[in-house]
Chain A
Amino acid sequence: MMRTADLVASASRALRSNPLRSALTALGVIIGVGSVVAMVALGSGAQAQVERSIASLGSNLLIVVPGAQASGGVRMAQGGGGRDTLTLDDVEAIAGLEGVLAVAPSQRGNAQLVANGVNWNTRIEGVTPSYMLARDWEVAQGRFFDESEERQARRVVVLGATVARELFPNVDPIGQAMRISGGSYEVIGVLESKGQSGFGMDQDDVVLAPLTTVKRRISGRFRRADTVSQISVKAASEGELNRLQEDVENLLRDRHRIRPGDEDDFTVQNLSSITETAAATTQVFTYLLGGISAVSLLVGGIGIMNIMLVSVTERTREIGLRKALGARQSDILHQFGLEAVTLSLAGGIVGLALGVAGAWGMTSLFNLPLVIAPQNALMAIGFSGLVGVVFGAYPAWRAAKLDPIEALRRE
């Protein structure tokens, strides 16, 4: 019986005797494992990015918009059907529900800003101070407007980071004046940056102003005074989110006198369920990428099998000699099997390194987080070893079963 150390030495010597062939054979596995690792990392990065950006909208958040839900549940329509079905009284009523941490009505509109001689078209949101709590947002600089400023419809605004950067590139925006739709406003604060939302929208390209100000002076001028375009409802805890969603729906159906069976004139969007859907979608995407890459790993395995069969044929005489000198079938089987596993395992390790490097390159190119789970890396290595066992088994078995008399006769 051959000692393990001798087995390893023998296999590595055989592989080193033809380095170019060994390297090319391993290349199939290198590419296979490398692309699996890179693709799965890329997919995981995209998934993490989606989850992160959706979470940046606010946690434990329900968003109520006017109009019926079209289908599915992943629609983030801002205006809904365009009918003004949500009122400030609805906001008051929702605030009275159990488990509500904050309710924030908002009126959305578009506005042309002028400051410093620069024009900027952006979204303007009329909100109340509770909006900051509901959306998990903080002021980075200056301050937010308070309740009394909101009630009095003061001409104050808080700028999103993008707007602040574009309009006041070199000066402190706090205290500066700007014009919105012809009126003059004072900048009192700048919001911390939230980055892009999961839907590619720049969340920092926004101006927040008191709800009453927007309703009266900017976007709501031609609409009823007490309607809002959106209500953000923050639950006290994640566990209460689904129950709260039902409560809000029942309350609004009741208040809007919608009979059972009739279509709602509003939609309650649950951000956590949107997150789950989006995450599930990117996960499918990840599996798909990984699956396609796994095909190349399979091709790499076939390459190993091919070369091992060639090697067995070339070394027929050597196998016959080894048998004549006392090698058992199991010794030959192990020797050739180990050569195949060594090739694929080495390919797996190199492939992992290249895959991580590739994933790093691609994620930095696409500005995604780099996510490489250690268990995925181990799985890649383990899988490459398995490829060697599976595809090395048949050639090794052929070698082990060779008739030594025939083998020695071969030239």
Chain B
Amino acid sequence: MTAPLIEAKELVKLYQMGDETVHALAGVSFVVPRGDYCAIVGPSGSGKSTMMNILGGLDTPSGGRIVIDNADIATLTDEELATFRNRTIGFIFQSFNLLPRLSALENVELPMIYGGVLPKERKERAAALLTRVGLGERMSHRPTQLSGGQQQRVAIARALAGRPALLLADEPTGALDTQTGKDILNLFSELNREGVTIVIVTHDHEVAAATKRTIEMRDGRIVADHLNGSRAA
């Protein structure tokens, strides 16, 4: 077996809140192999948001070690972190975070612009990705002209644009109605079957149940880590 995509060992993250030191992460260890589809769940304050920020290269740990796709996050410079976010991570947010002035196609192009991909290739790849998520007919639409589910599909296409090793989703169905949320989770399952590694951070156990594996956090520690065996295809 090849090296796992994510390998976290005794991960610690401290915040100073006035006089008090908060252990957002108090020694977290886990491994995510390539091709996995897992959910990190927990109530607010459990440390899952901090975990997501570190996984996404937006934040660095205070202690311990985390290696993602052979990159030791703690040792990366600001510039290397930017490249890491661009090449290795595909972010999906609860509120989609599409730029309202740009069309769907241009929103998908955005990470490739920072990756230095030439316009022609950018457009082709963005168009192929939008077609893949079922928006082939709406490429020139602005986000405001799209429904919530469609907007999240654009965001998923954008997350895939950099051909990332890891798709990192933060409450991806939080702003969607139940049916649309299910559709999005089905899209994640399809993408995972095609080989994309996906980590979803959520407080919703139903969402977690749609994945292959649930990592449960509480007070900065992992309290449970189990496979969702009886998941229907």
Mark A residues whose CB is within 8 Å of B: 1-3, 5-6, 10, 13-14, 17, 317-318, 321-331, 404-405, 408
Contacts and interface: CB of A to CB of B under 8 A. Distances in A.
Interface string B75-94: 00011001101110001010
A324 B158 CA distance: 12
A2 B116 contact: yes
Nearest to B80: A328
Contacts of B101: 13-14, 17
A328 B82 contact: yes
A318 B97 CA distance: 8
Contact of A326 (B53, B99, B111): B111
B113 A6 contact: yes
A6 B118 CA distance: 10
B113 A2 contact: yes
B59 A323 contact: no
A405 to B, nearest CB: 5
Interchain residue pairs A-B with the least CB separation, the first 8: A326-B86, A328-B82, A326-B114, A325-B111, A321-B97, A326-B85, A6-B113, A324-B91
A329 to B, nearest CB: 6
Contacts of A329: 78-79, 82
Nearest to B85: A326
A7 to B, nearest CB: 9
A325 B114 CA distance: 8
A327 B78 CA distance: 11
Given A324-B91, A325-B91, A326-B162, A404 B111 contact: no
Interface in B93-126: 93, 97, 99, 101, 110-111, 113-116, 118-119
Interface string B43-62: 00000000001001011000
Contacts of A2: 113-114, 116
B163 to A, nearest CB: 12
30 contacts: A1-B116, A2-B114, A2-B116, A3-B113, A6-B119, A10-B113, A13-B101, A17-B101, A317-B97, A321-B93, A321-B99, A323-B82, A323-B85, A324-B56, A324-B58, A325-B85, A325-B111, A325-B158, A325-B162, A326-B82, A326-B86, A326-B87, A326-B111, A328-B78, A328-B79, A328-B83, A329-B78, A405-B53, A408-B58, A408-B97
Interface of B: 53, 56, 58-59, 78-79, 82-83, 85-87, 91, 93, 97, 99, 101, 110-111, 113-116, 118-119, 158, 162
A327 B86 CA distance: 8
A14 B106 CA distance: 14
Contacts of B82: 323, 326-329, 331
Nearest to B109: A6
A345 to B, nearest CB: 22
Contacts of B162: 325-326
A327 B114 contact: yes
A324 B99 CA distance: 13
Given A3-B116, A318-B99, A325 B110 contact: yes
Contacts of B116: 1-3
B118 to A, nearest CB: 8
A1 B99 CA distance: 20
Give the interface centre of A13, A17, A326 by most chain B CB atoms within 10 Å.
A326
Nearest to A406: B58
Contacts of A317: 97
A408 B86 contact: no
A329 B119 CA distance: 22
Given A327-B82, A329-B78, A322 B114 contact: yes
Give the interface centre of A5, A13, A408 by most chain B CB atoms within 10 Å.
A408
A408 B97 CA distance: 9
A312 to B, nearest CB: 15
Give the interface centre of A6, A14, A327, A329 by most chain B CB atoms within 10 Å.
A6
B75 to A, nearest CB: 17
Contacts of B158: 325
Nearest to B83: A326
Contacts of A5: 119
A276 B42 CA distance: 85
A162 B111 CA distance: 78
